[in-house]
């Protein structure tokens, strides 16, 4: 079990992480979702002992990161957000090196390097230099380097940023398979589809704070059994907003410049009302879309912003 | 030992860098060949037949380099008998004295001489000749040219290494222009023969120009490893591999010791190769007791690796490390006697030289070449070890804290 307890980190006068707590159970795949700058990497750095927290602690199987750092590090495989490999060395040489750093040697090291190459699907090209690799292949070795010592906990920080869909699928399938085989995974991303695909329990972060935490279904309940409707206009008028707010169908309303986001449990009726009132008030509607049940909608509902802003 | 694995990894990365290898392994050999051969000394034999000359000098610059040329080279003890130097306070006065037949030849050192010289630009030192005393003019010209060539060659070498080896790829142009300049230097050498080799030595044997420059180049090129070693740490920080190392169960101290050992191993490897190559190709003798030279090589490599750690703890980015390499190594090489032998320097500079590790290493090699006992070398060993240990401690202490 991995317990994150009230972690806090401040850089200058900016609080990058404020009071983050969550628990990851053995065998689980836990998602940490949030837009860029939410504080995900900072949280991961504190979990992996790379950054000391201003407050709080992390316990892994009862061992504190603050007090038993080395013991904790042996249990974890950390996949950093950037590709942290030696570009002029081959994939194989890199894996051998990182394996040694995890304390492997001899026949065991060789066996694990071969296995990991198999897992990430690069056995054929293991002898090529990393700087000759495509972005996706680099990402795969970047993950592989954290798997060598068969860690109980795999901690991944945006492992699919900037790669082609094929490599991305390969990585997602690999993580799913590792998790199925019993590895506990913490998966960080700003792609909600990935987190949704992999993880059962999810924490959503924004501006350093945890804004939601729970199983997928629990998070969807923020949407109150309903749907979000996003209306982009050429210009909003006060009168129209007042009318929207009065509607019985509207459960929540968020206004961002010329965009209005409404939550409802009766989308058809609401769409009709929105269009009718807009015509009355001579509001020009440019886009109207319906956001179904997904984490993007949850995030939108909670923050009024899109994950990718 | 994880530190050893880290050191080995570092060595592997260095050995894989083709262009870097060319510059670290081939360049010093080429440079030694050129400096050793082209400028090898016939001065002592030629000196007997030299005529006495009345030479005038106008030094518009009055810098360190121009003073060395005026006072130390032209007034070198072997030359003093023949060259009677008189300084003039303006070009006009100097010209007049030659017209009047008072002086046989005149030298004009232009303003900006040393700056251009160390930038690798060509500089013109004007030599005025009296029409009836052309021999004196020629001798003076060749002395001046030999000095200028030598300083330029070394200044160039440090620049090229700084640009090509240390900076980002794409610095090919400077390497080419350097090679061209070297070729030219070779052509010029016919009339610029001179020898500034060690004035006196502790031991029994005299040291040849070839030996001098072999030691000087070994020492100078190893100094670049301080910058390279520091850059390798800064580079790992940039690439994120340092952070990644810190997420593995590897102690911070093992990482630092590993990086230190990496620079040390590479330096030892580089200087061993150089010593062997210069011995095999040019029959450069590194002393009767080769163990002494090897020990100096080792303690110097130790100091160089220590400095690398200290630099890494002070310098923030690889770019600033490059800038440091550009002039830092040049100044150290200059001070330490790799450009022109130290005895031509004024007292003050020779004292400053005592603070440079390369001075001690070069001095040590020259001592070994001239044949000294182990006890004569203890001071050299001690100083180099002290430099290595203190810089290593500062580096590790500062980097640990991060
Ligand atoms: N070393 C640092 N120094 C100063 N500010 C930082 C540092 N690391 C992160 N930050 C800031 O903390 C906030 C969170 O960053 P980060 O944890 O990288 O977010 P995420 O991984 O979710 O994109 C950002 O505003 C970022 O600018
Ligand atoms: Mg991040």
Confidence band (pLDDT; 50, 70, 90) for B189?
very low
Confidence band (pLDDT; 50, 70, 90) for B198?
very low
Rounded to whole angstroms, the Cα distance separating B338 from A128 reads 41
The mean pLDDT value for B187-212 works out to 51
Main-chain dihedrals φ then ψ at residue A230, nearest 5 degrees: -110, 125
pLDDT of residue A256: 79
Confidence band (pLDDT; 50, 70, 90) for B172?
very low
What is the number of the ligand 1 atom nearest to the C-alpha of A42? 17
Chain A residues within an 8 Å CB radius of B19: none
Angle (deg, nearest 10), helices B209-239 and B252-282: 150
B93-148 tens-digit pLDDT: 988 888 888 888 888 888 887 777 666 666 677 888 877 777 777 777 777 776 77
Lowest mean pLDDT among A115-124, A290-299, B36-45: B36-45
- Percent of chain A predicted with pLDDT > 90: 65
pLDDT of residue A292: 66
Lowest mean pLDDT among A120-124, A249-253, B38-42: B38-42
User: Which of A10, A41, A187 maximizes ligand 1 atoms within 8 Å of its Cβ, making it the mutation to test the pocket?
Assistant: A41
- Are the Cβ atoms of B247 and A82 closer than 8 angstroms? no
**Residue B3: CA atoms inside 13 Å, Cβ hemisphere, count?**
13
Contact A170, A15 (CB under 8 A): no
Given CATH 2.40.110.20, say whether it is the number of domain B52-150: no
Chain A residues within an 8 Å CB radius of B240: 80, 82-84
- With a 6 Å cutoff on the Cβ, whether A38 touches ligand 1 is yes
3-state DSSP assignment of residue A77: strand
Report which DSSP code applies to A265. S
Report which DSSP code applies to A39. S
Cβ atoms < 10 Å from Cβ of B33: 19
Classify residue A16 by burial, with Cβ atoms within 10 Å: 0-12, 13-18, 19+. Answer: buried
Tokens of A168: 């991305």
Dihedral sign, Cα of residue B109, residue B111, residue B114, residue B119: negative
Distance from residue B250's CA to the centre of ligand 2 (Å): 24
Considering only the beta carbons, identify the residue of B2, B239, B249 that sits closest to A84: B239
Cα of B397 to nearest chain A Cα, Å: 18
What is the number of the ligand 1 atom nearest to the C-alpha of A43? 17
Pairing label, strands A29-33, A184-189: parallel
How high does pLDDT run on average in chain A? Answer: 90
- Are the Cβ atoms of A101 and B5 closer than 8 angstroms? yes
The mean pLDDT value for A260-289 works out to 87
What is the number of the ligand 1 atom nearest to the C-alpha of A35? 22
- Cα Dmax for chain B: 83
State the residue for tokens 């040489």. Answer: A93
Tokens of A90: 């081959």
The mean pLDDT value for B301-314 works out to 95
> From residue A7, how far is each of A66, B147, B267 by CA, in Å?
12, 66, 45
pLDDT over 60 at B194, yes or no: no
Confidence band (pLDDT; 50, 70, 90) for B200?
very low
Cβ atoms < 10 Å from Cβ of B174: 17
Q: What is the pTM of this model?
A: 0.77
pLDDT over 50 at B41, yes or no: no
- Are the Cβ atoms of A80 and B243 closer than 8 angstroms? yes
* Stronger pLDDT, A295 or B261, i.e. the higher one: B261
Cα of A131 to nearest chain B Cα, Å: 13
The mean pLDDT value for B187-213 works out to 52
Contacts by A165-174, CB closer than 8 A, 24 or more apart: A166/A136, A167/A134, A167/A135, A167/A136, A167/A137, A167/A139, A167/A140, A168/A136, A170/A121, A170/A136, A170/A140, A171/A136, A171/A139, A171/A140, A171/A143, A172/A197, A172/A198, A174/A119, A174/A120, A174/A140, A174/A143
Is B248 near chain A, with CB under 8 Å? Answer: yes
Top-ranked range on mean pLDDT: pick from A276-285, B191-200, B256-265: B256-265
Distance from residue A39's CA to the centre of ligand 1 (Å): 6
Contact B196, B73 (CB under 8 A): yes
pLDDT of residue A223: 64
Map out the domains of chain A with their CATH numbers.
2-220 (3.40.50.300), 227-292 (3.30.70.100)
Chain A residues within an 8 Å CB radius of B244: 78, 80, 84, 98, 145
Chain B residues within an 8 Å CB radius of A88: 13, 16-17
**Taking chain B, what is the end-to-end CA distance rounded to the nearest angstrom?**
23
Main-chain dihedrals φ then ψ at residue B148, nearest 5 degrees: -60, -45
Confidence band (pLDDT; 50, 70, 90) for B205?
low
Confidence band (pLDDT; 50, 70, 90) for B1?
confident
Main-chain dihedrals φ then ψ at residue B377, nearest 5 degrees: -100, -5
For residue B251, the chain A residue with the least C-alpha distance is: A70
State the residue for tokens 């009345």. Answer: B54
pLDDT of residue A52: 92
Distance from residue A188's CA to the centre of ligand 1 (Å): 14
Rounded to whole angstroms, the Cα distance separating B124 from B145 reads 9
Confidence band (pLDDT; 50, 70, 90) for B182?
low
Lowest mean pLDDT among A125-139, B187-201, B302-316: B187-201
Give this complex's ipTM.
Answer: 0.82
- With a 6 Å cutoff on the Cβ, whether A11 touches ligand 1 is yes
* Stronger pLDDT, B286 or B23, i.e. the higher one: B286
> From residue B342, how far is each of A102, B152, B357, B369, B382 by CA, in Å?
51, 17, 14, 16, 21
Q: What is the residue extent of each domain of chain B?
A: 2-43+206-401, 52-150
Rounded to whole angstroms, the Cα distance separating A214 from A22 reads 10
B254-284 tens-digit pLDDT: 999 999 999 999 999 999 999 999 999 888 8
Contact A78, A146 (CB under 8 A): yes
């Amino acid at each position: 079990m991995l317990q994150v307890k009230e972690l806090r980190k401040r850089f200058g006068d900016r609080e990058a992480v404020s009071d983050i707590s969550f628990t990851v159970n053995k065998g689980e795949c836990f998602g940490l979702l949030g837009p860029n700058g939410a504080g995900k990497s900072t949280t991961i750095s504190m979990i992996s002992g790379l950054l000391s927290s201003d407050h709080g602690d992390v316990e892994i199987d009862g061992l504190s990161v603050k007090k038993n750092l080395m013991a904790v590090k042996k249990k974890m495989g950390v996949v950093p957000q950037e590709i942290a490999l030696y570009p002029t060395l081959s994939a194989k040489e890199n894996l051998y090196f990182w394996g040694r750093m995890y304390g492997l040697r001899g026949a065991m090291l060789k066996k694990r390097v071969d296995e990991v190459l198999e897992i990430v699907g690069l056995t054929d090209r293991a002898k090529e230099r990393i700087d000759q690799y495509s972005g996706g292949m680099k990402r795969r070795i970047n993950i592989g380097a954290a798997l060598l010592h068969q860690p109980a906990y795999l901690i991944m920080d945006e492992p699919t940023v900037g790669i082609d869909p094929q490599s991305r699928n390969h990585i997602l399938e690999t993580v799913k398979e590792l998790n199925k085989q019993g590895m506990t995974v913490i998966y960080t991303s700003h792609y909600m589809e990935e987190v949704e695909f992999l993880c059962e329990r999810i924490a959503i972060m924004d501006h350093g704070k945890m804004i939601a935490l729970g199983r997928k279904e629990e998070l969807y309940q923020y949407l109150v059994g309903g749907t979000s409707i996003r209306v982009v206009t050429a210009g909003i008028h006060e009168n129209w907003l007042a009318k929207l707010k009065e509607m019985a169908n509207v459960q929540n309303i968020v206004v961002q410049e010329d965009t209005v986001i409404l939550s409802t449990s009766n989308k058809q009726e609401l769409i009709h009302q929105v269009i009718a009132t807009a015509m009355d008030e001579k509001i020009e509607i440019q886009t109207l879309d319906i956001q179904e049940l997904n984490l993007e909608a949850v995030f939108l509902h909670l923050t009024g912003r899109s994950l990718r802003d | 030992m994880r530190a050893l694995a880290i050191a080995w990894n570092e060595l592997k990365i260095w050995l894989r860098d083709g262009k870097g290898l060319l510059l670290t392994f081939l360049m010093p050999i080429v440079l030694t060949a050129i400096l050793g051969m082209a400028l090898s000394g016939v001065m002592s034999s030629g000196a007997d037949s030299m005529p006495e000359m009345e030479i005038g000098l106008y030094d518009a610059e009055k810098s360190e380099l121009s003073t060395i040329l005026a006072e130390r080279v032209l007034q070198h003890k072997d030359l003093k008998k023949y060259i009677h130097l008189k300084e003039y306070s303006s070009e006009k006065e100097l010209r007049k004295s030659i017209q009047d037949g008072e002086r046989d030849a005149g030298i004009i050192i232009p303003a900006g001489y040393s700056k251009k010289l160390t930038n690798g630009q060509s500089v013109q030192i004007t030599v005025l000749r009296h029409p009836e005393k052309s021999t004196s003019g020629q001798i003076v010209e060749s002395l001046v040219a030999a000095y200028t060539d030598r300083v330029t060659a070394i200044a160039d070498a440090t620049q090229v290494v700084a640009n090509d080896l240390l900076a980002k790829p794409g610095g090919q142009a400077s390497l080419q222009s350097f090679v061209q300049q070297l070729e030219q230097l070779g052509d010029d050498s016919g009339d610029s023969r001179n020898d500034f080799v060690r004035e006196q030595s502790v031991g029994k044997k005299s040291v040849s120009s070839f030996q001098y420059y072999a030691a000087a180049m070994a020492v100078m090129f190893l100094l670049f490893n301080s910058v390279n070693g520091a850059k390798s740490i800064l580079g790992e920080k940039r690439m994120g591999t340092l952070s990644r190392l810190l997420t593995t169960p590897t102690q911070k101290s093992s990482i630092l010791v590993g990086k230190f050992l990496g620079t040390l191993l590479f330096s030892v490897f580089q200087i061993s190769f150089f010593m062997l190559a210069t011995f095999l190709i040019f029959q450069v003798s590194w002393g009767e007791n080769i163990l002494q030279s090897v020990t100096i090589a080792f303690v110097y490599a130790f100091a160089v690796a220590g400095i690398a750690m200290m630099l890494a703890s002070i310098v923030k980015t690889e770019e600033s490390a490059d800038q440091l390499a550009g002039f830092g190594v040049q100044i150290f090489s200059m001070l330490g006697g790799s450009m022109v032998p130290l005895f031509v320097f004024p007292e003050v500079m020779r004292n400053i030289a005592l603070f440079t590790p390369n001075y001690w290493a070069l001095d040590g090699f020259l001592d070994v070449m001239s044949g000294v006992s182990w006890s004569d070398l203890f001071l050299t060993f001690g100083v180099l070890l002290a430099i290595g240990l203190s810089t290593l401690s500062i580096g590790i202490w500062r980097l640990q804290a991060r």
